[in-house]
């Protein structure tokens, strides 16, 4: 295909990272397993380019199966290149490590995924990296926090559990003017609903475990970068020795093929359920940027083409016991943390306790719902009996 830029995302998700005629006409790039790679002669062996990550030279740098997944995600998201990692957290670790050295200063959103904060606190700080948390709503004021030794601004929009939207283009404009890179955890946005490189992100980080794989049988991280930061990031991944199994790459790519239909349906189900919850007397508010009236709605509408099916529900004050009774009574919602698969989930969360730069108090118990591919009528009926249980438990 000559003009890939003109293709729409569903077409890219269907065709990217495939070359059937190369593999005997097979539609999917097969699982290629391999560690050592044999070279035809000494000259070729000794002439290997350590910075060419697109040729097969040792299993740790990938096989055609790995490259197929990486190419497909990079193309869908509109980035220069991608690298697969063994988990979403490993992807975050590698991306942060690429910008961390003793004396460096990193700016991290206060709404960040908790394990990212933990890595900064327990690991980066011990290496002499200064970590400063900033208000996710900071926008262009990020400039006031940038120091000569600042190497990167880490964003996550919407934020984990609190769903605050960040004005990434405003942050990026200021950061770039000062030579600072913008890293973003774009797991919620997915390569399908958010085009990070059009909004100033330099390095986009995904938990491929979530909607990319989409079936709850793979752990995967994927980092996509622009041209400028590719080698810096790819070398960091290589230096840490990260690699992923070709079987997992195969499964993640199989999931990616259907990301469009899954996400559109899950979004539709999630919006229906979020609106139904908004009208319930037991609910204080629903935190979901896709809803009109949400504080992040304007930014979401400007920067995203759709919404993941993950949102927060603030209940009116109720006892811990009553909230647990609600969740325990649900028959169709699993109790579990990792989202992005086909089944609905419900958990209770308390993100306020992890904030340090800002306060976050929702005014009542907070639930996080992930909406799957079940019929939304069945999910609503289940939630309705759950809310009755909440009232009865008192």
Ligand X SMILES: *Cc1c(COP(=O)(O)O)cnc(C)c1O
- In the complex, which residues of this chain contact ligand X (CB under 6 A)? 87-89, 92, 113, 160, 185, 187, 207, 209-210, 219, 221, 338
Q: How far apart are CA 228 and CA 103, in angstroms?
A: 23
Residue nearest to ligand X (CB): 88
Please give the helix or strand (H or E) that residue 255 lies within, else none: helix 246-257
Whichever of 131 and 207 has its CB closer to ligand X, that residue is 207
CB of 113 to ligand X, least distance (A): 4
Please give the helix or strand (H or E) that residue 185 lies within, else none: strand 181-185
CB of 343 to ligand X, least distance (A): 16
CB of 75 to ligand X, least distance (A): 22
Whichever of 159 and 386 has its CB closer to ligand X, that residue is 159
Whichever of 219 and 236 has its CB closer to ligand X, that residue is 219
Nearest-CA neighbor of 237 among 37, 95, 82, 102? Answer: 95
Please give the helix or strand (H or E) that residue 169 lies within, else none: helix 168-177
CB of 102 to ligand X, least distance (A): 26
CB of 111 to ligand X, least distance (A): 10
**HEC sequence for 186-241:** CCCCHHHHECHHHHCCCEEEEECCCCCCCCCCCCCEEEEECCCCHHHHHHHHHHCC
CB of 289 to ligand X, least distance (A): 14
Strand order in the sheet with 150-156: 81-85, 221-225, 203-207, 181-185, 150-156, 105-109, 130-134
CB of 192 to ligand X, least distance (A): 16
Whichever of 71 and 248 has its CB closer to ligand X, that residue is 248
CB of 151 to ligand X, least distance (A): 20
Tokens 């009755």, located at residue: 388
Whichever of 150 and 160 has its CB closer to ligand X, that residue is 160
Give the angle subtended at the CA of 124 by the CAs of 122 and 130, to the nearest 5°. 115
Whichever of 187 and 344 has its CB closer to ligand X, that residue is 187
Whichever of 76 and 92 has its CB closer to ligand X, that residue is 92
CB of 384 to ligand X, least distance (A): 28
Neighbours of 206 (CB within 10 A): 31
CB of 66 to ligand X, least distance (A): 17
Q: How far apart are CA 274 and CA 277, in angstroms?
A: 5
Of all residues in the chain, what percent are helix, strand and coil, respectively (each to 5)?
40, 15, 40
358-364 contacts, C-beta under 8 A, 24 or more apart: 358/110, 358/135, 358/136, 360/162, 362/284, 362/285, 362/287, 362/312, 362/314, 363/284, 363/314, 363/317, 364/284, 364/314, 364/315, 364/316, 364/317, 364/318
Whichever of 160 and 329 has its CB closer to ligand X, that residue is 160
- Sign of the CA dihedral running 58, 64, 69, 73: positive
Whichever of 338 and 385 has its CB closer to ligand X, that residue is 338
Neighbours of 12 (CB within 10 A): 21
Whichever of 171 and 212 has its CB closer to ligand X, that residue is 212
């Amino acid at each position: 295909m000559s003009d890939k830029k003109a293709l729409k995302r569903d077409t890219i998700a269907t065709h990217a990272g495939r070359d059937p005629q190369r593999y005997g006409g097979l539609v999917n790039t097969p699982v290629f397993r391999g560690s050592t790679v044999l070279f035809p002669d000494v000259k070729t062996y000794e002439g290997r380019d350590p910075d060419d990550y697109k040729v097969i030279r040792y299993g740790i740098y990938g096989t055609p199966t790995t490259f197929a997944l990486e190419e497909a995600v990079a193309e869908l998201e509109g980035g220069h290149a991608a690298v697969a990692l063994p988990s979403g957290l490993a992807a975050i670790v590698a991306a942060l490590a690429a910008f961390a050295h003793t004396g460096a200063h990193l700016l991290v959103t206060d709404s960040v995924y908790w394990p990212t904060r933990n890595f900064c606190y327990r690991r980066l700080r011990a290496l002499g990296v200064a970590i400063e948390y900033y208000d996710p709503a900071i926008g262009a004021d990020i400039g006031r926090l940038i120091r000569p030794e600042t190497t990167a601004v880490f964003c996550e929009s919407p934020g984990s559990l609190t769903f605050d939207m960040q004005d990434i283009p405003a942050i990026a404009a200021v950061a770039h003017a000062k030579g600072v890179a913008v890293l973003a955890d774009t797991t919620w946005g997915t390569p399908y609903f958010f085009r990070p490189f059009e909004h100033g992100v330099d390095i986009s980080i995904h938990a491929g475990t979530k909607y990319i794989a989409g079936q709850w049988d793979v752990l995967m991280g994927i980092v996509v970068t622009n041209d400028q930061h590719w080698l810096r990031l790819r070398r960091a991944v290589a230096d840490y020795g990260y690699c992923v199994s070709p079987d997992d790459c195969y499964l993640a790519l199989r999931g990616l093929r259907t990301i469009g239909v899954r996400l559109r349906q899950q979004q539709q189900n999630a919006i229906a359920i979020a609106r139904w919850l908004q009208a319930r007397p037991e609910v204080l508010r629903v935190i979901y940027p896709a809803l009109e009236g949400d504080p992040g709605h304007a930014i979401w509408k400007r920067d995203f083409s759709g919404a993941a099916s993950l949102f927060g529900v603030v209940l009116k004050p109720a006892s811990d016991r009553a909230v647990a009774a609600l969740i325990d009574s649900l028959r169709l919602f699993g109790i579990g943390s990792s989202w992005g698969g086909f089944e609905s989930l419900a958990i209770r969360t308390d993100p306020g306790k992890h904030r340090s730069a800002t306060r976050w108090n929702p005014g009542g118990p907070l639930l996080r719902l992930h909406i799957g591919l079940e019929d939304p009528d069945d999910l609503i009926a289940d939630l309705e009996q759950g809310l009755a249980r909440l009232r009865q438990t008192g």
